[in-house]
Amino acid sequence: MLSLHEDPFHADLYGGRLTIDVEAIAKNWLFLKGKLTGDTECAAAVKADAYGTGQAPAGQALFNAGCRTFFVAVPTEAISLRQTLPDATIYALNGLLPGTSDHYLENDIRPVLGSLEEVRDWIDLCKSAGRSFDAAVHVDTGIHRLGLSPDEFSATLSDADLMGPFVPSLLMSHLACGSTPDHAMNKRQLDLFRTITAPYAHIQRSLANSAGVLMGPEYHFDLVRPGISLYGGQAIDDTPNPMTPVAKVEARIMIVRNVPAGDTIGYGAMHTAKRTLRNAVVAAGYADGMLRRAGSTDERPGGFAMIEGHKAPILGRISMDMITLDVTDIPDHLVKRGAFVEMLGPNVAAADLAAYAETIDYEYLTSLGQRFHRVYGPLT
């Protein structure tokens, strides 16, 4: 495997490596696109550095696979992506901050207008130019974050004098409970979105994130915008994850040592050895995105790593730069100084680690450390 960008350091100087398979990202996009019918477009969310996988390589792989519309969070992400994808349609989800309109126009970026003030600012811009500039309008159907209220949305879009030349390029909303498809909130949001956007069916409409894509055609409308599923994450709780893993984190073993029964391990003396243990200390920690909450105590188990098909439980607290693993029952020849241990990847799903850390796999993926040697290629 080759590093996508020139690296000033030798690979052996890193405590670990992060392997990213952008072809797997493209494969996941094609899988989701295959769930759609008719003319529904499959876009892609590449915010937060494409969920930690690298915005430029992930975006290029998605574009090569056929994706033409992309969503980021903030304008700086959008402008950066424009350098990689000059011909793509790019939306910035976090809307229009004061004084930024010119930057959107100069870089052909479409803001997702999420408040009445933003919509009015964009309308004024269109009126002053005597033409419509592309932008999405976000309507809040119940999540109570960004978005016009339903009353604001209906009153604004139906007022021809107010709208002037502005015609939105997209109408959208966002599901609050997509990870639990049976939640009544999903149907309420779907019904409200369908009703209030019905007079504007000539404008592209979007409701579905990753979970919405998997929930079925009634949520798809004209455009879907998956995120976590593209990166191998689990969009719907308590069901098998159909997506292909795209990232693998491996950390090097620094030392292997014995711990007598009754001794404690790590900061805070939180984990007591119930028997004589053999542990391995690896060069990864919460500064590398291995979340501290996944450590173990005497009251609760922690997460785990994998060594050549063998599970190695985490012992004690995860510290900034290192993690201690129980390798007592793993053959000696597999546990050597300098050997790599899989901390996250095909055999250690981010969703599994997230359960130990009482969080979601989004946090793991977007926290992938900058201290690893980053390479792009197959995970095997």
DSSP notation for 243-271:
SPP-EEEEEEEEEEEEE-TT-EESGGG-E
May I ask the CATH class of domain 247-376?
Answer: mainly beta
Query: 17: which DSSP letter?
Result: E
Homologous superfamily assigned to 22-231: Alanine racemase (3.20.20.10)
Q: Which of 234, 202, 190, 177 is nearest to 349 (CA)?
A: 234
Q: CA angle, 226 as apex, 132 and 57 as ends, to 5°?
A: 90
Mean pLDDT value across residues 212-239: 96
Reported as a pLDDT band with limits 50, 70 and 90, residue 44 is very high
Mean pLDDT value across residues 295-312: 96
pTM: 0.93
Tokens encoding 258: 């014995």
pLDDT of residue 33: 98
Active site residues: 47, 267
Block residue for tokens 């876009």? 43
pLDDT tens for 361-372 read 889 988 887 789
> Does residue 148 surpass a pLDDT of 80?
yes
Reported as a pLDDT band with limits 50, 70 and 90, residue 6 is low
pLDDT of residue 3: 43
DSSP notation for 287-343:
GGT--GGG---SSS---EEEETTEEEEB-S---SS-EEEE-TTS-GGG--TT-EEEE
pLDDT of residue 370: 78
Mean pLDDT value across residues 152-169: 97
pLDDT tens for 171-197 read 999 999 999 999 999 999 999 999 999
Mean pLDDT of the chain: 95
22-231 against 247-376: fold identical: no
> Does residue 4 surpass a pLDDT of 90?
no
pLDDT tens for 76-124 read 999 999 999 999 999 999 999 999 999 999 999 999 999 999 999 999 9
Domain boundaries, the chain: 22-231, 247-376
pLDDT of residue 9: 85
| 348 touches 306 (CB < 8 A) | yes
H or E segment and range at residue 278: strand 277-282
pLDDT of residue 2: 42
